Amino acid sequence: MAERAPSPGEPIALRAAALASELKATDIVVLDLRGVTDMTDFFVIASGTSDTHVRAVAEYVQAGLKTSGVSTTMTEGLTQGRWALLDYAHCVIHVFHPTLRQFYQLERLWGDATPVQLDKEITQGVR
């Protein structure tokens, strides 16, 4: 496989995954979409356990990235809490209620993407 060009989205994706884990999000996945789509370079996909938890995780990730000087270009779904989306241009973060994550199956939809290896503590949502 050819070496991929660096992306400003990669550190955002890895930090977002760690932040989501800190707030006990589950099933955290980072997908490298470079070479698959021009829409963005990385997806972070995580689940909350309830609408309130989905909102809390998304808000925590957004606040944590903002303290690092990274601001969203767009957000959607924060008030409903079923599926929150944080768009950072080179990285898009999805926090789902488990039933919606199962319904949309983004990991399967973007099956050509390369999963990014994360620490076990992050992927299990345990710190």
Over residues 33-84, the pLDDT tens digits come to 999 999 999 999 999 999 999 999 999 999 999 999 999 999 999 998 899 9
SS3 62: helix
120 is written with which tokens?
Answer: 């076990």
**Which single residue is written with the structure tokens 């006990």?**
24
Identity of the residue numbered 49 = T
Q: How far apart are CA 92 and CA 87, in angstroms?
A: 5
Pairing outcome for strands 26-32 and 114-115: antiparallel
Where are the domains positioned within the chain? 9-116
Per cent of the chain over pLDDT 70 is 92
The neighbouring-strand residues paired with 95 are 46, 84
Give 119 or 34, the one with higher predicted confidence.
Answer: 34
Tell me which fold the domain 9-116 belongs to.
Beta Polymerase; domain 2 (3.30.460)
- Quote the pLDDT of residue 127: 38
Instruction: Give the sheet arrangement for strand 83-87, strand by strand.
Output: 74-76, 83-87, 91-96, 42-47, 26-32, 114-115
- Quote the pLDDT of residue 124: 52
Look at residue 5 and tell me whether its pLDDT is greater than 80. no
The neighbouring-strand residues paired with 45 are 29, 94
**CA dist 44 to 23, 93, 123, Å?**
15, 5, 11
